[in-house]
Each structure stands twice: as C-alpha cells, then as structure tokens.
Structure 1
C-alpha cells in the first residue's frame, strides 16, 4: 500500500515526529508480537488499531513473556518515539525508554568474582537465565560458551529456584552477564 498517497494526514503526522519525543496514548490492542497504541495527538490508522506500536523488548527492561504482564487494553501510556516505520506507517514506540537502564548501575557496581543470589527465570538447552538485579539477567552456561567453562548441569536448575551465582564476566557494551556456580554450591 502507498501510505503516503492513501493516508496523507497519517504520513504527515509520522514525518513530524522526532526520535526521543514523548508521546501519550491509550493501549488499543495487545498481540503476541507487541502492543498497538492509539496516540492522543495522532490520526487513526486505516488498518491497525493504533498508529503507535511497541515491540515486546521495548515494553520493559525486564524480560517480557507476554505484553499483558506489562500493559492492559485501555491503559494510558507515555512512550518515547523511536522511529517512523514507513513500511507499516506507524510510530515505533518504547515504554522502557522513559525509565533508567538498570544494567548501567549493575555493571558499574558489580565486580567479576562477586557472589550474588539470583532466581532462575528460564532454563535453555545451553544454560540457565538467572535474575541478578532489577531488570538484569545473567547466563549460567551448561557447556563451554565463547571460551567460558561449563558452570552447571541443566538438571540442577529449575525455574523459580533461588541460587547463589558467581559473576564471571560483565560486558556493558553487549549488556551481558556471565555467571557460574560458586565452588561451595556445586
């Protein structure tokens, strides 16, 4: 569809937005792939329930399984504008852009070799994902991964279990934390 000629008001509105601008609206629909937002100052969208769209990763700094864990239809939201999606003629938005990134303070205050308590949030074939701070999830690899030795067996990790973990690497640029099991916990 040629959005520019079919919906010139919508196109003009989207072109007028600037990265980082704060937009407000109402959650119009929740799908498995994201959230449609009807923007207060925006026109309607000819195909979608809202002219704004938030992907799952942009809902929160915390891992999100379902958008309904964060928002509800009819809820008022304020979001940061990320970009104009010209293919879908929608404003890509971010809820998490309006809250501080919890990884920065974690990375600045956590040294390699430190033991933390965490909660297992996911067990994958290659490792366990463990929350180690507000919005910070680290990986305990089960086999050598990127030169890191194996840290545990999949059977020893169950979702919801609290466990001590040893910080083996903090990568601020990649927003990654690698963990292992402390010797006395194995």
Structure 2
C-alpha cells in the first residue's frame, strides 16, 4: 500500500505519535487468515483496511489456539499494547497477549523443579508427549522419561486424555518451555 505522510497526513501523524507499550482500545472489525483488524477508538479510519490496528496471530494469546475466533470475535471490544508503526501498511501493530500475564512466567513463579503434578495428556509426538499441568501450561515429557523401561512410541504407554503424574524437570522462562518426566529422580522422591 505504502503512502507517505503527504497522502494520509492524519493517519501518519496518529501512528507516528504512538509509543511502544502504550495501551489502545478498539473494536475487532475483521478476522482474516493472516491476522485480526481493530478499529481504534482514538484513531482515524484506514483508507484500505477495516481498521488501523492489526494483531498478528502470534500476538493474540499466550495459549495455543486453532483459530483466531477461539480468542476474539468480530465486534468484541479489546485493549491492546502498541508494538510498532508498520509504515508499509500504515497500521498500528498491536498485541493482545501483552495485556495479559504470561502463564509460563506465573507457573515458574509458583512451581519448583522436582515438584510432582498431575496433568492430562494433550498430544503425542514422535519425541514424547505433551501434558497440560496448569491452565495454559503444557509441558513435554520426552520419550526417554515416559516410562521406567525403553519405549518405542508414546502410544505404547499413554493416550491423549490420560491423566498422569509427572515431575517438573526444567522450566525455561526465556524459551517458555516446561519439561516433565514420569521417572522422578531420587531427589524428587525424597
């Protein structure tokens, strides 16, 4: 699209005045296959898009979701954090998840390595299984830590929907990953 300040002076001035982390309110106007458009309360109309604000799928939620409509609906009021001025599309890149606490960080603050938890198996993959141990928290149990004996495939031991007891072996805050085991170490057993 690309239009300089002279073509859309009001829109350009509005976007240029925004600061990283600033909260903006608006209404979801469209859900597309590439993201979500937001009509901002204090912003001008966009000459092409159904809103000046745009939320990519990665910025919608901390939690895993299948479709954007699992997180937001057209017509819904939202408050988002401003990320950047997209000068190519003349839009405000926004984050909805930045307005919510990261469940992995909350989990890391409240759970210790070595702690036993009960969770539900959510997915089987070639290298192990994912287990939901808290709201919005899924940890990986590597195949080698799934049983006390050698396991060829996860389905030999567990199925999706099974409830199992696991031990937290690692919480990586930076990469937002939780690693679990069904084979507790002697320290965890003590």
Category of TM-score, reference length = shorter chain: 0.7 to 0.9
Alpha carbons 1:57, 1:64 under 8 Å: kept: no
Unpaired stretches in structure 1, ≥5 consecutive residues: 143-148
Superposition pairs for residues 167-182 of structure 1, below 5 Å? 167-182=168-183
Determine helix, strand or coil for the equivalent of 2:12.
Answer: helix
- Asked whether 1:59 is paired with 2:54, we answer no
Residues 45 and 122 (structure 1 numbering): CA distance in 2 closer, same or farther, change over 3 Å? farther
Residues 165 and 33 (structure 1 numbering): CA distance in 2 closer, same or farther, change over 3 Å? farther
> Residue by residue, what CA displacement relative to the aligned partner does 1:104-155 show, whole Å, maximum 9, x if unpaired?
231122222222112233333333222222222212223xxxxxx4536331
Q: TM-score, normalised by structure 2?
A: 0.82
Q: CA deviation at 1:37?
A: 0.6
Rounded Cα–Cα distance in structure 2 between residues aligned with 1:84 and 1:157: 47
Residues 10 and 122 (structure 1 numbering): CA distance in 2 closer, same or farther, change over 3 Å? farther
Determine helix, strand or coil for the equivalent of 1:3.
Answer: coil
Q: Which residue of 2 aligns with 1:166?
A: 167
- Asked whether 1:151 is paired with 2:146, we answer yes
- Asked whether 1:139 is paired with 2:134, we answer no
Which shifted more, 94-103 or 152-161?
A: 152-161
Q: Which residue of 2 aligns with 1:116?
A: 117
Alpha carbons 2:115, 2:168 under 8 Å: kept: yes
Rounded Cα–Cα distance in structure 1 between residues aligned with 2:168 and 2:52: 42
Determine helix, strand or coil for the equivalent of 2:15.
Answer: helix
Q: TM-score, normalised by structure 1?
A: 0.83
Unpaired stretches in structure 2, ≥5 consecutive residues: 148-152, 185-190
Determine helix, strand or coil for the equivalent of 1:6.
Answer: coil
Rounded Cα–Cα distance in structure 1 between residues aligned with 2:88 and 2:128: 37
Greater C-alpha Rg = 2
Q: CA deviation at 1:11?
A: 1.6
Alpha carbons 1:18, 1:81 under 8 Å: kept: yes
Alignment root-mean-square deviation, CA:
2.1
Rounded Cα–Cα distance in structure 2 between residues aligned with 1:87 and 1:154: 47
Rounded Cα–Cα distance in structure 2 between residues aligned with 1:45 and 1:25: 13
Superposition pairs for residues 79-94 of structure 1, below 5 Å? 79-94=80-95
Alpha carbons 2:145, 2:182 under 8 Å: kept: no
Which shifted more, 165-174 or 118-127?
A: 118-127
Runs of 4+ residues over 6 Å off in structure 1: none
Q: How many residues matched? A: 177
